[in-house]
Amino acid sequence: MDITSSLKKIVKDPLLRLSLIFPIFLSIFPIIFPDETIIVWFVGANYVAIFAMALDFLLTSGYLSFGQQVFFAAAAYAVGMAYLYIGVPTGAGMVLGILAALAFSLPVGIACLRWRGPYLILATSILPGFFSAIIGAARDWTGGYQELPGYLFPGRYIPALVETPDWFLNTVISYYFSLAFMIASAIILIALTYSKFGLIISAIRENEIAAEACGINTTKYKTICFCISAIFAALAGAFYAGNVASTIALDATTTGTRMMDAFFAILVGGMWSIVGAIGGVYVLTTIRYIANELQYTWSLAPYVGSIIVYSTMVLIFYFMPHGLIRTIYMRLRYKFFSGKRGE
């Protein structure tokens, strides 16, 4: 995987250079909107964006797995339990969480990726239930299912990577950590997508039988892709435990909520596009934030907000089947950068 040449190719692309305006805007976001509530929402958007990118990268190979939610949850629990039982600092716990998810994803990938099409989805759909059952069965150690929906030992605090006496400053620090993780993840995954490895997994998506006929070990490449996706899903979960939630909620990590948020963002932004997945997350987060703020002046706002979110998605699916961000990208390229592909 020649990532260096991939990065050079990306830098030469005029539209991708133009898209750098967006991370610059995000870097000064807390200065433009110095409101704690808005920043908290976008901290959440950053870690969901990491999860969405992880899922989209796996979709590049043509496969969908519900197991990525489990890797998110496993990393989150590893961070919390490493701190509670061993006293491992949050930063080191995040590394342990990612390694734990990687160790779990390898045998799962080898076993499940021998299936194809809907059979893989069915095979991986049992993983969240399996993980939840383990957490519940080991409730004396994990906290299990509490009356307050499944928190890991309520009242046991898990510190963030960096903490100060100022709550607003903590929020800003958490935002910049999440932004740094998100941008770093985007750079790595975009480079991988543009690399020889990315071309191979795209070929597998288009025609796996033909790829095998060309001598490509499709199981090997799918497993590597699966594990890479698991690593970034685990990064999102580890960040959630260490910087978003002071306690870990079982219902927030093992249910399909995060999975659906990420999948909807991919559909809105554009499938098989890392940038599209990121853009989709911010589009949906902005709509949901506005709807949430309206509820203070209009009691029906949460319901209307949900209607607006889902109606927006339906309209995008109908008029822009390639996704909002990807469609904008293709139209700008056709109109302004035709014949300037940075080759």
Burial class, 310, CB count within 10 angstroms (exposed 0-12 / middle 13-18 / buried 19+): exposed
Residues 101, 71 contacting (CB under 8 angstroms): yes
Q: State residue 255's pLDDT score.
A: 56
> Is the model's pLDDT at 7 over the cut of 80?
no
Please report, as a single letter, which amino acid is at residue 341. Answer: R
Most confident of 161-175, 209-223, 325-339: 209-223
Please report, as a single letter, which amino acid is at residue 194. Answer: Y
> Is the model's pLDDT at 50 over the cut of 90?
yes
Angle 3-12/167-194 helices, nearest 10 degrees? 100
Least confident segment among 10-24, 113-127, 167-181, 244-258: 244-258
Torsion (CA) 89, 130, 226, 19 in degrees, nearest 10: -60
Q: What's the pLDDT tens digit per position in 243-262?
A: 765 555 544 555 567 777 88
Mean pLDDT over the full length of the chain: 77
Residue with more model confidence, 8 or 54: 54
3-state percent helix, strand, coil for the chain, nearest multiple of 5: 75, 0, 25
Residue with token string 């989709």: 280
Task: Tell me the average pLDDT across 142-170.
Answer: 61
Length of the chain (residues): 343
Q: State residue 6's pLDDT score.
A: 56
Joined together, the tokens standing for residue 244 give 């978003």
CATH class of 3-336: mainly alpha
Joined together, the tokens standing for residue 199 give 């071309």
- Residue 19 dihedral angles phi and psi, to the nearest 5°: -70, -10
Q: State residue 49's pLDDT score.
A: 92
Between CA 54 and CA 263, with CA 196 as vertex, the angle to 5 degrees is 20
Query: Among 170, 151, 154, 172, which residue's Cα sits nearest to residue 162?
Result: 170
Residues 289, 82 contacting (CB under 8 angstroms): no
User: 166 by DSSP, 3-state: which?
Assistant: coil
Q: What's the pLDDT tens digit per position in 254-300?
A: 556 777 788 888 888 877 788 888 888 998 888 888 877 776 666 66
Q: Whole-prediction pTM value?
A: 0.83
DSSP states along 276-303: HHHHHHHHHHHHHHHHHHHTTT-TTHHH
Torsion (CA) 199, 204, 210, 215 in degrees, nearest 10: 70
Residue with more model confidence, 157 or 341: 157
What is the pLDDT confidence band of residue 15, given thresholds at 50, 70 and 90? low
What is the pLDDT confidence band of residue 342, given thresholds at 50, 70 and 90? very low
Residues 189, 57 contacting (CB under 8 angstroms): yes
Residue with more model confidence, 33 or 81: 33
The structural domains of the chain, with segments of one domain joined by +, span: 3-336
What is the pLDDT confidence band of residue 53, given thresholds at 50, 70 and 90? very high
Q: How far, in Å, CA of 197 to CA of 191, rounded?
A: 10
Query: Among 153, 272, 297, 161, which residue's Cα sits nearest to residue 206?
Result: 272
- Residue 334 dihedral angles phi and psi, to the nearest 5°: -65, -40
Joined together, the tokens standing for residue 54 give 């992880």
Task: Tell me the average pLDDT across 87-101.
Answer: 85
Task: Tell me the average pLDDT across 204-208.
Answer: 84
Residue with more model confidence, 206 or 2: 206
